[in-house]
Structure 1
Amino acid sequence: MNVSTFIAKRYLFSKKSRNIINVISLISFFGILLSAASLIIILSAFNGIQYYVEDMYGRHAADLYIDPVNGKKITADHNVFTFLSTNEKIETFHKQIKETALLKFNNQWETAKIIGVDSALFHTQNWEGDMTQGIAALYFKKIPSILLGYGLQYKLQVETNHNFMTEISLYAISNNKKLSIQNKSLLKKHNLILNGVYSINPDFDESTAIIAYQTANAFFNYNNGASSILVYTKNNNEVNKLKDEINAKFPTVLTSTHEEKNKLIYAANDAEKWMVMAVLILVLLLSSFTITSAITMLIIDKKKDIFTLTSLGCQKNTIRAIFFKEGLFISLLGSFTGLILGIIICLLQMKFEFIKLNDAALDYWPIRIKISDLLLLLIILSSVGFLSSYIPGRLLMKRIVN
């Protein structure tokens, strides 16, 4: 241990001649501690929310989505289907139909987005985990069925304790004339058995109903075409390369990833996280001024010691290093203690879920700790501690020693 480190440690734990210096040092320590703990707790909370939102919107997501550039349909004879069938990077692909139609239950009408899902794909996805009532099936004894979102069920006033053996009527316009409930001759109708109710995310639940692709294909006259194609790759690292390849080969379709399809949601989550982090870093910077104040007052308090050390032959750099390390010790001790405290609180929340959310999709506040966040916070806290310790040691010491 060199001289500057030894003296800095003695100054850190020894009683100062002026009690106010002890008070300011403690304020500095606890200010950095609380800032560090707040940073890791709030970042982990945002990570938890982000993970939950991504899970909600990406639970049944494909690697790639292929949509028509013009119009709303990719015809069955499009060359992209041949490409997808023969490409070795692709595990599987499935057609999907999306149309807006009317749903009727008793005397209640509602506009809904109807999604025709390939039965083969539907059975590979864990829809059972999303069902709040009924069963996850697109057919009832070979009769076409329908699944309603939780919000859509409420709008249609389907009883919560319904036995799901009733019919939901599906209406769509049969020609290009204006849709009108009063003019029912313009509508074609198909009765579907209600099999169950699901809950994935509020937006999806409020407006969407699921039926089999084969049912949608016949009802909406798609002639084996698709509104979009869902592509699943063998290797996730090939997704972007495959996307660019499809877009280059087939200019009449647009290929995008799940993140690109929902970029507004992901961008909003990231923006909120970094805005909150910026505010907390500002609070951290304000807290670091107390370190600068504490070191400044300590230098003034130890002026006699400085002259004594100078007389004994200590170099200016050694004396500067004493007070620089003193500030650095306060900062690093507060930072590491705060991070440890924050991690403990996060782990307790993950284990016991003591912070509850009322009237929300989740019963508790989700937490997710990321190593990358910890490393980033260590860099930020160390940088702030370095600057707040360096400034008084450099500027004030220059005046005193000279």
Structure 2
Amino acid sequence: MKALFYIAQKYLFSKSTQRSVNLINYITFTVIIIGSAALFIVLSAFSGLRTYSLSYTNNYDPDFQISPSSGKFLKVSDDELQKIRGLDEVTYLAAEVREKVYLQFKNNSTIATIVGVSENYSEVSPIDEALFFGNWNLENNLSSIGIGLSNKLELPILNFENPLQLLVPKKGNLTFASQGIGSQPFNRAHVVVSSVFSLDEESDNSLLYTDMALVQNLLELHPEEYTSLIVRANNPADFKTIYAELRELLSEEIEIKSKEEFNAALYKMLNTEFAATYTVFTLILIIALFNLTGALITIIIDKKEQLRSIAQMGLTISHLKSIFFVQGLFISVLGGGVGLLFGSLIISSQIQFEWLKIAPNLPYPVNITAVNYLIVLVTISVLGSISSLVAAQKVSPRLLS
């Protein structure tokens, strides 16, 4: 076996007497370097985009969300809330009520989502860290609004003279006959905006946060009724344990979703994009490694006389095939390693100097991970092995005769 590796290594670094053979070998090696570098750069760029896309989710979304399995609202007593907070797996627990609401400020109006939150909401979802300006204070009918929604309503902060008006339909089937001609079909409330936040485009254009009690009164809810409970866990990966304990504590039928589950569409899109990107560049690598098959066959033909001499020394056809299989594997791994080195230098330069930008103040996000190195090396090794195996079949008794 050592002899086979020695011969393969010798053929790898030795030059042929024919310049065309050497040129083919150089081109093959260069193509593998470029292909592996390109795959690594694309994977690193995708990793950066994935990290950037999930940054808001990871920072502001809770680890778990508890909601009713049917209906809009979940009824949870104070005693049940205390028991949940007492679980070892639960770091923080908060509650929220979400509902569509009609907003009106002077001559401007729109439909938005109002979110009534408990006092410790920012411990689970630190939205107070995303404030564009103002202070996170929801007491005394104060609120926090998304920057897009604020611009749409042309709404200033701390405007106590002209507060923002909230309207939601009253409960039940209301008619003029039952309520009277002068009746109002809407529940109303007023809030003053104390801060403006900037999270993501959807949240910025649709969300208004305020005190839980105000929203519960507006929607005519019981103080123990919530849309959902949100949890910050010690170990989010231990989903089964947390799920079992919460099901045991809560009397109502509940649905528990992890961060990945209530952002399922985003994760599915990212995984699909990764699969598509990897597939496209793997196909490019497959085409590139056709050169390896051709180069090995050229080397086999060029070394035909030497192979005859080696065969006469006692090596079988199988041994000779192994020599060129190993040589092809050497070329693939060495080319892949050099390609990874070049790719790493390019990605590192982007991280250090930010020479490629999406916007003037936003560099293109890239991320170097061990997984990307492993993916490139495994891909190159597998495809290189297949190409080498195909080329090695050229060695036959007929060739040596």
TM category, shorter: 0.7 to 0.9
Within 2, Cα distance between the matches of 1:125 and 1:86?
19
Quick one: structure 1 residues 9 and 124, their matched pair in 2 at CA, closer, same or farther if it must change by over 3 Å? closer
Partner of 2:154: 157
Partner of 1:379: 378
Confirm whether residue 105 of structure 1 aligns to residue 105 of structure 2. Answer: yes
The answer as to whether partners of 1:40 and 1:373 remain within 8 angstroms in 2 is: yes
Within 2, Cα distance between the matches of 1:239 and 1:383?
36
The answer as to whether partners of 2:333 and 2:377 remain within 8 angstroms in 1 is: no
Aligned to 2:171, the other structure's residue is in SS state coil
Within 1, Cα distance between the matches of 2:193 and 2:234?
35
Partner of 1:207: 206
Within 1, Cα distance between the matches of 2:370 and 2:79?
45
Deviation at 1:46, TM superposition (A): 1.5
Partner of 1:370: 369
| One-letter amino acid of the structure 1 residue matched with residue 358 of structure 2 | L
The answer as to whether partners of 2:187 and 2:219 remain within 8 angstroms in 1 is: no
Within 2, Cα distance between the matches of 1:378 and 1:93?
44
**Percent identity at matched positions?**
24
1:2-401 map, 5 Å: 2-77=2-77, 81=81, 83-85=83-85, 87-122=87-122, 126-139=126-139, 143-158=140-155, 162=156, 164-165=158-159, 167-176=163-172, 185-224=184-223, 225-247=225-247, 250=251, 252-358=253-359, 363-401=362-400
Quick one: structure 1 residues 2 and 66, their matched pair in 2 at CA, closer, same or farther if it must change by over 3 Å? closer
Aligned to 2:349, the other structure's residue is in SS state helix
Within 2, Cα distance between the matches of 1:178 and 1:379?
67
Aligned to 1:236, the other structure's residue is in SS state coil
Aligned to 1:261, the other structure's residue is in SS state coil
Deviation at 1:163, TM superposition (A): 5.2
TM-score (ref. length: structure 2): 0.88
Deviation at 1:59, TM superposition (A): 2.0
Deviation at 1:88, TM superposition (A): 4.1
Quick one: structure 1 residues 27 and 307, their matched pair in 2 at CA, closer, same or farther if it must change by over 3 Å? same
Within 1, Cα distance between the matches of 2:69 and 2:323?
67
Q: Deviations over 1:178-229 (max 9, x none)?
A: 89xxx99322322211112111111211211111223222322222111101
Aligned to 2:260, the other structure's residue is in SS state helix
Quick one: structure 1 residues 195 and 232, their matched pair in 2 at CA, closer, same or farther if it must change by over 3 Å? same
Within 1, Cα distance between the matches of 2:190 and 2:375?
57
Q: Deviations over 1:57-78 (max 9, x none)?
A: 2322222211112221112449
Aligned positions, number: 391
Deviation at 1:7, TM superposition (A): 3.6
Aligned to 1:392, the other structure's residue is in SS state helix
Within 2, Cα distance between the matches of 1:311 and 1:124?
76
Aligned to 1:9, the other structure's residue is in SS state helix
Within 1, Cα distance between the matches of 2:343 and 2:63?
36
Aligned to 1:138, the other structure's residue is in SS state coil
Within 1, Cα distance between the matches of 2:59 and 2:400?
65
Could you list the runs of 5+ residues in structure 2 that have no partner in the other structure?
176-181
Q: Which moved more, 1:376-385 or 1:311-320?
A: 311-320
The answer as to whether partners of 2:33 and 2:336 remain within 8 angstroms in 1 is: yes
Within 2, Cα distance between the matches of 1:312 and 1:253?
76
Within 2, Cα distance between the matches of 1:240 and 1:40?
36
Quick one: structure 1 residues 303 and 86, their matched pair in 2 at CA, closer, same or farther if it must change by over 3 Å? closer
Aligned to 2:159, the other structure's residue is in SS state coil
The answer as to whether partners of 1:134 and 1:164 remain within 8 angstroms in 2 is: no
Quick one: structure 1 residues 124 and 245, their matched pair in 2 at CA, closer, same or farther if it must change by over 3 Å? closer
Partner of 2:178: none
**Two-structure CA RMSD over aligned residues (Å):** 2.7
Aligned to 2:17, the other structure's residue is in SS state coil
The answer as to whether partners of 2:171 and 2:220 remain within 8 angstroms in 1 is: no
Within 2, Cα distance between the matches of 1:391 and 1:207?
59
Within 1, Cα distance between the matches of 2:274 and 2:22?
36
Deviation at 1:293, TM superposition (A): 0.1
The answer as to whether partners of 2:95 and 2:121 remain within 8 angstroms in 1 is: no
Could you list the runs of 5+ residues in structure 1 that have no partner in the other structure?
none
Deviation at 1:8, TM superposition (A): 3.2
Quick one: structure 1 residues 25 and 174, their matched pair in 2 at CA, closer, same or farther if it must change by over 3 Å? same
The answer as to whether partners of 1:95 and 1:228 remain within 8 angstroms in 2 is: yes
TM-score (ref. length: structure 1): 0.88
Q: Deviations over 1:330-358 (max 9, x none)?
A: 21111001111112222222222221103
| One-letter amino acid of the structure 1 residue matched with residue 106 of structure 2 | N
Aligned to 1:193, the other structure's residue is in SS state strand
The answer as to whether partners of 2:61 and 2:125 remain within 8 angstroms in 1 is: no
Within 2, Cα distance between the matches of 1:299 and 1:307?
11
Within 1, Cα distance between the matches of 2:305 and 2:242?
72
Partner of 2:179: none
Within 2, Cα distance between the matches of 1:271 and 1:124?
30
Q: Deviations over 1:299-333 (max 9, x none)?
A: 11121222232334444344333322332222111
Q: Which moved more, 1:229-238 or 1:342-351?
A: 229-238
Deviation at 1:86, TM superposition (A): 5.1
Q: Which moved more, 1:376-385 or 1:242-251?
A: 242-251
